[in-house]
Structure 1
Amino acid sequence: MQRYFTNELIAENNTLTVLGEDAHHMIQVMRMIPGDEVYVVVDAVTYTMTIVEGSSKSVLLQVKDKQDQTNEMPVKVSIVCGLPKGDKLELITQKATELGMHTLYPFEAKRSIVKWDKQKNEKKIARLQKIAKEAAEQSHRSMIPHIHTAISIKELLDISNSYHVRFVADEEDAKLEERQRFSDLLKKVNGVESILIVFGPEGGLDRHEIKALHENGFQSISLGPRILRTETAPLYALSAISYEYE
């Protein structure tokens, strides 16, 4: 069944009106008619609703029932990605949303070749937020991950203080013979409410960045003996967390 997210509120008579792109998608793309049912997520709660009437601009829905089950991870996992080249951040956004990511922070790392000015920042974030919404609908999430504006190392350190556990993926750690397994670290922190993981861009994180993160409570993690691409590493980590906790 098709799923939609909305900021509209359910009226006292248990109806809800969907507007704009979602209304167009229901009527023009999915060819839905009165009597068809959809899932609609309102304030992180999923409802089954029936179409009463609609056009490509507005669809009136009637609440049928509320779904008690949630598909969210038991821990809020936020990802920090050094700005990568090309459309890699779009891939990360889409797949990480499917895997349960809570928030994405694009990071202006020292080795990031890509630089975002204010205008590009706004356009990129809007594009990524739309990708996250579509991926959340497809994967039947109960919330849409928040895509933050690009942050500096100082802003990253400030943001990290609100997280219970902080990891940094360090490719140098992967080269060590006695590296600590990521799964072992996850077992030690089982039950925490939030995890923040930092990944570098192509070329990895600068050693001064690693040092600053360590000094602010970050722990290095190894994602196995192989060096992963910048777009692969976050997906590996999210998959490992899902396997361990879900």
Structure 2
Amino acid sequence: MGDQVPGASRTLEVLRFLAAQAQPVTAGRIAEALGIPRSSLYHLLRAMQEHGFVTHLPEEQRYWLGVSAFEIGSAYLRQDPLTRLARPVLARLVETTGRTGHLAVLHGREVIYLIEERPPGAHRLVTDIDVRLPAHLTASGRSLLAHLPDAQIRALFPTAAAFVDRTGAGPKSVPALLRELRDVRARGHAEEHGEVSERWSTVAAHATDRTGQPVAAVAATFREQQPAPPAIVDAVRRAARELTSRLTGRLGGRPQ
């Protein structure tokens, strides 16, 4: 298989090599260790750098793993324990509300859905496992974005083109998104009404880790109602607190 996709194989070899190093290394060291011609290696490193898998340190003329490699490694460590801890929480949320429940994490400007629990006979939604949706449109995304610094929000959404539209509703600028996120922080939960799928609403609340950082959103989706029914809001917030408790090992978790 490696001979059939040499570019992919070389990319993985470079990643494995960099991951095994205690310090950043020169291109010459990589080329020598892996037997890759320098001309080919520079093209490969440039492409990996553009995608965030390699960081170039120009003052030292050395290379190191990039943020994207860290994100993938972190996602592996996070998702399996996270989904195992969250699955019974989601099951109880669905049983309590009779609505579809979700677990999602933030990845850049998107949320990735890790769990979807549906009650018997429930309508199939777009928020299935491994689906990615624009974070600024989803309740799950907003519940997590609300706890990022404003400067980071501006960096994530640098231009109007970053505000993907699905149904014509939802924030379309950084000021509008920041206003929405302030409301989320004030309420203690996020709501989305028809911005992802017409005639559907979602309520979400965040769960935190031991450092107090939001790591995932717990959500319930139902036929559109504004405002969201208090019973669903309360159930989602309880579920988020329960997941926080399970993640931190502290009874009761952190207040939402």
Q: Higher RCO, 1 or 2 (CA under 8 Å, sep at least 6)? A: 1
TM-score by length of 1: 0.25
When you count helix as a share of all residues, which structure comes out higher?
A: 2
Structure having the higher Rg: 2
